[in-house]
Structure 1
Amino acid sequence: MAASIVALIVLALALGPLLFVWRARRWPRGRSVCVVVVGDVGRSPRMQYHALSLARRGFDVTLLGYSGSKPHDELLSNKKIHILHVLEVHLIPVGPRVFQYVIKAVVQAVLLLYALLLKSPPVDYILLQNPPGLPGIAVCWVSCFLRGSKLVIDWHNYSYTMLGLTHGFAHPLVQLAKWYEKLCGRLSDLNLCVTNAMREDLAKNWNIRAVTVYDKPASFFTNTPLETQHQLFMKLGHTYSPFRARAESLDPDFERSAFTELNPRSRKVTQLDGRPALLVSSTSWTEDEDFSILLKALERFEQWINDGANLPSLVCVITGSADLGVCLHKSSSGLDLPMKVVDMFGCCLPVCAIHFQCLHELVKHEENGMVFMDSEELADQLKMLFSEFSNSDNRLNQFRKNLKESKQLRWDENWEQTVFPLFTHTQGVWPKT
């Protein structure tokens, strides 16, 4: 009997503050959303786009996550968006690995719940990025339960598959993460995902219905004008020799980079004949990307040039105004798509991308780019594409033309069609998908 009384007292002490918060802060509210990223807000472009789209539609938005990289300027200047930072938690270098993960998850859960209940205003919806889902899904569900909010999960990938890259998919920790993600994922009121393949997998193996919301380029991703390219090349040339002019212009007044030339009288910029090809590789440097594939392909390409092949020299950079993009993203689950390719396509930049399960939903082989399996196939594609580089009607220009004529939807247009109706459905009854 005494033990039961003590248990009731402990339970009351534990639940009392939460019930107080729930009762005290459930005042009437308008349209409001808390966008939750258990990660660096500045490195979460899709969630930033969600926040901006919601704000443009009149929602009051709280964007909650870790500080670090700078978010988009448009987001920082938007008065409808309030950024709320949560302290980032790292593994403690004490004890077994499993113990470290448990401690990290517990501390993260406490900090996140504190932020949602005591620092964030009451909201109608919590929109959570997954992964990471542990402990985010459970914590957000508790907050929604106490405040009467709806939980929306945006599935970018699976947390357990990313954990499996480090520990192996048979590891007990990975299996536990999979069980948690599958169980808690069903607590949501609505689910978004990034591909049809993920939507089908969620329905078949998780019994979770989701709406596919493809990543689309933001409006500021556009084809770079030649004048802007020239300015960039001249600036880079001050630091990096590959961007400097290979030979002086016949007219000393002309301004020349390795790729372009500016006529100072007409202010017209032209591309140089025999210029190098510019290759861009935008990579996240994650464990599912093997950068050595590109290095081996470039070594083979250079050997062909040394052997006398009629190929342009290549300049490989991490950013810039390029002729071709290379993507090494493989996906831990095989069910998400590389946002770096989405942004390249927004700039009408053709791409060579390494193959994985659902890549065809984005990269159309021989239409807007090419798909390769290994370094040898990538090298062969580079040779084929750049062997006709001097011709105006080359394969790269045809890919670029196809991208321009495809009239790709931008993020705002796509969001208006797919996501906005879900957040404005009356009576809290959302469409079955």
Structure 2
Amino acid sequence: MVTKEEDDEIRSEAAVVVLGDVGRSPRMCNHAKMLADGGFDVKIIGFYDSIPGEQITNHPRIKIVGIPAPPDFMDSLPAIVQLPLKLIWNFVTLLLAMAFRTSAFNLRVILMQNPPGLPTAIVCFLISLIKCSKFTIDWHNYMYSILQNKYNIADGDTSPKGKIVKGVSILEGICGKLSDYNLCVTDAMRRDLMKRWGVRANTFYDRPPTWKFRPTSLLEIHDLYSKLGEVPKANETILTRKSIDGSLTLLPDRPLVLLSSTSWTPDERFEILLDALVDYEEAAKNDKELPKILLIITGKGPLKAKYLENIQKKDLKNVKILTPWLEADDYPKILASADLGISLHTSTSGLDLPMKVVDMFGAKIPALALKFKCIDELVGDRVNGYLFEDSNQLSRQIVELSRGFPNRCEDLIRLKRNTREMKFESWETMWKRSAAPAANLTPPDNGFAKLRAIIQLSFLVIMILIPIHLAMGTFSGLFSPKP
């Protein structure tokens, strides 16, 4: 806890900038917690659409500064009009927040998430100059590649939209060179940043934080599924049974639990999973060794309603699908209740890794992941999960791993054991070794913070007073020749 004496001190401040939903930006929230635990006062600046976990909202040194998202009507405008308008909106709202909601004299660190690089990086760079702060970009992906994917623009496209995307790419690279430090999520991205734009970055892999993932008890799982309404009988959930003496056991005929966390966007090819489940449904009709499946899908996004409608049309008998709304602190518990995680993430740049798979490993469950360029930096095929390329391959893997569940599924048991035994360093360990030294994220002592604030304030006062005295002629006699 922070004492009153500590609270009254002037401390170094850090701004963590997310031009997106703060609650759905776990990596940046993790950065914020580590900075706050290390001695900074932290302002998280972004869209406050969903609430982060208690580790963020209840932290005495973290404050969330919400900024308004662009109005919905802009989404219906043509891209050639929509993009500039959104850039202007975000530039103004972010600039005002960073100028007036962060410390005038004591902002030491600005750490921003890219994408989106524009206008975020420009605003962060300007504020870093004005407030004498160190500016770090944390590269999760590329803004230009997301726009290419969204508007179906190929490399070399000379249409107006293609030219805009090309301009975004150029500006994105310039912004990378303007920053003092750069972090990125994979070695493949680190090499590409250097090759593409000459930007030097340090790789900082996502890892599960210990404050988010811990051993989950059967009681917690039982209570969670009771809250979700999955209670077929008294004292039972779809997975667990509570005895008269209060002890809990897993049901021997429980379903295999699959979990997929998705943002319901085009870059996550959800139809692959849907087609694989249809194939599994057919296989389960003729194979008594295959269990029923409970598929839990978390997340929200623009294509959710469309896919849920498609799911209902399939009339699946051996597969039940839940799309629960979860509080942030319930997500690790439901992950821990799963037998397998499924990731449908594909990267528009091919250079980032899915945070959801990191979460799966944090909960000690193996993952089935869609194969793309650098996924092998995280998932070892047939070691801590399987990699698949299409729905046929995914359905075969689900059948292979689930046959004989829960006690005679040797391949699944082996994957679970490997995942539990995997030496996966925590977020804290990786952050202290990789991120903090690479981006100079260690605060000076509070005495220095006070001195810096006094010097900056004195300099500002002098710079204001000098023009006033010049206008008044105060110094005119000093430079006149003596009679």
Equivalent positions of 1:208-223 (< 5 A) are: 208-219=199-210, 220-223=212-215
Q: Out of 39, 51, 56, which is 1:75 matched to?
A: 56
What runs of 5+ residues in structure 2 fail to find an aligned partner?
Answer: 1-9, 299-333, 445-483
| Alignment-derived partner of residue 268 in structure 1 | 247
| Alignment-derived partner of residue 139 in structure 2 | 155
Q: 1:104 to 1:256 in 2, by over 3 A?
A: closer
Q: 1:102 to 1:112 in 2, by over 3 A?
A: same
Separation of aligned partners in 2, 1:413 and 1:283: 27
Q: Is the 8 A contact 2:276 2:394 kept in 1?
A: yes
Aligned residue for 2:111, secondary structure, equals strand
Separation of aligned partners in 2, 1:138 and 1:276: 51
| Alignment-derived partner of residue 104 in structure 1 | 86
Q: How far is 1:202 from its partner? A: 0.6
- 1:299-357 per-residue CA deviation (whole Å, 9 max, x = no partner) reads 11110111235211111112532111111001111111111111111111111110010
Separation of aligned partners in 2, 1:126 and 1:259: 46
| Alignment-derived partner of residue 183 in structure 2 | 192
Q: Out of 385, 393, 397, which is 1:381 matched to?
A: 397
Greater RCO (Cα-Cα under 8 Å, separation 6 or more): 2
| Alignment-derived partner of residue 311 in structure 2 | none
Separation of aligned partners in 2, 1:37 and 1:297: 35
| Alignment-derived partner of residue 95 in structure 2 | 113
Q: 1:419 to 1:94 in 2, by over 3 A?
A: closer
Separation of aligned partners in 2, 1:223 and 1:176: 48
- 1:222-277 per-residue CA deviation (whole Å, 9 max, x = no partner) reads 343223223333343x3x5xx625xxxxxxxx833333222222x32222223221
Q: Is the 8 A contact 2:289 2:403 kept in 1?
A: yes
Aligned residue for 1:256, secondary structure, equals coil
Q: 1:235 to 1:109 in 2, by over 3 A?
A: closer
Aligned residue for 1:228, secondary structure, equals helix
Aligned residue for 2:74, secondary structure, equals coil
Separation of aligned partners in 1, 2:112 and 2:264: 24
Separation of aligned partners in 2, 1:404 and 1:124: 39
Equivalent positions of 1:222-371 (< 5 A) are: 222-236=214-228, 238=229, 240=230, 244=232, 255-265=235-245, 267-318=246-297, 320=334, 321-371=337-387
Separation of aligned partners in 2, 1:399 and 1:369: 6
Q: 1:94 to 1:404 in 2, by over 3 A?
A: closer
Aligned residue for 1:34, secondary structure, equals strand
For 1:126, the aligned partner's letter is: I
1:49 maps onto 2:30 in alignment: yes
Separation of aligned partners in 1, 2:180 and 2:131: 14
Q: How far is 1:425 from its partner? A: 7.2
1:416 maps onto 2:432 in alignment: yes
Separation of aligned partners in 2, 1:82 and 1:295: 40
1:176 maps onto 2:167 in alignment: yes
Separation of aligned partners in 1, 2:239 and 2:53: 30
Q: TM-score, normalised by structure 2?
A: 0.76
Separation of aligned partners in 1, 2:238 and 2:53: 31
Separation of aligned partners in 2, 1:293 and 1:75: 35
Identity score, percent: 40
Q: Is the 8 A contact 1:223 1:346 kept in 2?
A: no
1:39 maps onto 2:50 in alignment: no
Q: TM-score, normalised by structure 1?
A: 0.84
Aligned residue for 1:200, secondary structure, equals helix
Q: How far is 1:93 from its partner? A: 6.5
Aligned residue for 1:70, secondary structure, equals coil
Separation of aligned partners in 2, 1:62 and 1:235: 34
Q: Is the 8 A contact 2:273 2:391 kept in 1?
A: yes
Q: How far is 1:386 from its partner? A: 0.7
After TM superposition, the structure 1 stretch with the greater mean CA deviation from structure 2, 107-116 or 378-387, is 107-116
Separation of aligned partners in 1, 2:185 and 2:61: 26
For 2:349, the aligned partner's letter is: S
Q: How far is 1:57 from its partner? A: 0.5
| Alignment-derived partner of residue 452 in structure 2 | none
1:63 maps onto 2:41 in alignment: no
Aligned residue for 2:350, secondary structure, equals coil
Q: Is the 8 A contact 1:222 1:348 kept in 2?
A: no
Q: Is the 8 A contact 1:223 1:348 kept in 2?
A: no
Q: Out of 365, 384, 406, which is 2:422 matched to?
A: 406
Q: 1:339 to 1:179 in 2, by over 3 A?
A: same
Separation of aligned partners in 1, 2:377 and 2:370: 14
For 2:70, the aligned partner's letter is: V
After TM superposition, the structure 1 stretch with the greater mean CA deviation from structure 2, 223-232 or 189-198, is 223-232
Q: Out of 92, 111, 119, which is 1:127 matched to?
A: 111
Q: How far is 1:60 from its partner? A: 1.6
For 1:112, the aligned partner's letter is: L
Separation of aligned partners in 2, 1:104 and 1:392: 55
Separation of aligned partners in 1, 2:431 and 2:178: 24
Q: 1:390 to 1:354 in 2, by over 3 A?
A: same
Separation of aligned partners in 2, 1:394 and 1:134: 49
Q: 1:93 to 1:374 in 2, by over 3 A?
A: closer
